[in-house]
Amino acid sequence: MNLRIDPASPEPIFEQIVFRVKNAVAQGELGGGDRLPSVRELARDLAINPNTVARAYETLEAAGVIVRRQGAGCFVSERGSGLATSERRRRLDELVDRLVTEGFHLGYGARELRDALSERLSANPLPSKRDA
């Protein structure tokens, strides 16, 4: 999975890990049932405190992305988050609004935003759709 973090980033370390894992799943690098590195192992590799990794894994479990099993390890979940359609849509709209607003202030117009999204989806196609 090639997990790296940037300790100098304003984004908390545990959130960086959370996003990297979500990203790996969304790119098909990790699939349902796959095992993640152990808390201690990843902490050693990233030279950070095990509690920080544990926090990231905890967040990922709360989001329905992974399951943690005592004595066994952490595994990519086979099931989705279980959110209601309305809630999912609300969050999607917020994500889109954020892209459009911030993108506009970076100087990008409607067409460039659409193209950027299309290019991203073509370059790294999503795995078969995940349940909500």
Given the rule CB under 7 A, which residues bind DNA?
10, 12-15, 36, 38-41, 48-49, 51-52, 54-55, 57-58, 68-74
Packing angle of the helix pair 13-26, 39-46 (nearest 10 deg): 110
Looking at the DSSP bridge assignments, the partners of residue 66 are 76
Q: Which of residues 27-86 bind a copy of itself (CB under 8 A)?
A: 33, 61-65, 67-72, 75, 77-78, 80-86
- Distance, CA of 96 to CA of 89 (rounded, Å): 10
Q: How far apart are CB 111 and a copy of itself at their closest, in Å?
A: 9
Q: With contact defined as beta carbons under 8 Å apart, do 21 and 60 qualify?
A: yes
Q: Judged by CB, which is closer to DNA: 6, or 111?
A: 6
38 binds, among a copy of itself, DNA, none (CB under 5 to 8 A by kind): DNA
Q: With contact defined as beta carbons under 8 Å apart, do 36 and 73 qualify?
A: yes
15 binds, among a copy of itself, DNA, none (CB under 5 to 8 A by kind): DNA
Q: With contact defined as beta carbons under 8 Å apart, do 3 and 14 qualify?
A: no
Short-list 34, 28, 30, 33, CA closest to 129: 28
Per rule CB under 8 A, is residue 129 in the interface with a copy of itself? Answer: yes
Q: With contact defined as beta carbons under 8 Å apart, do 17 and 56 qualify?
A: yes
What are the residues binding a copy of itself (CB under 8 A)? 7-10, 12, 19, 22-23, 25-26, 33, 61-65, 67-72, 75, 77-78, 80-88, 91-93, 95-110, 113-114, 116-118, 120-121, 124-126, 129-132
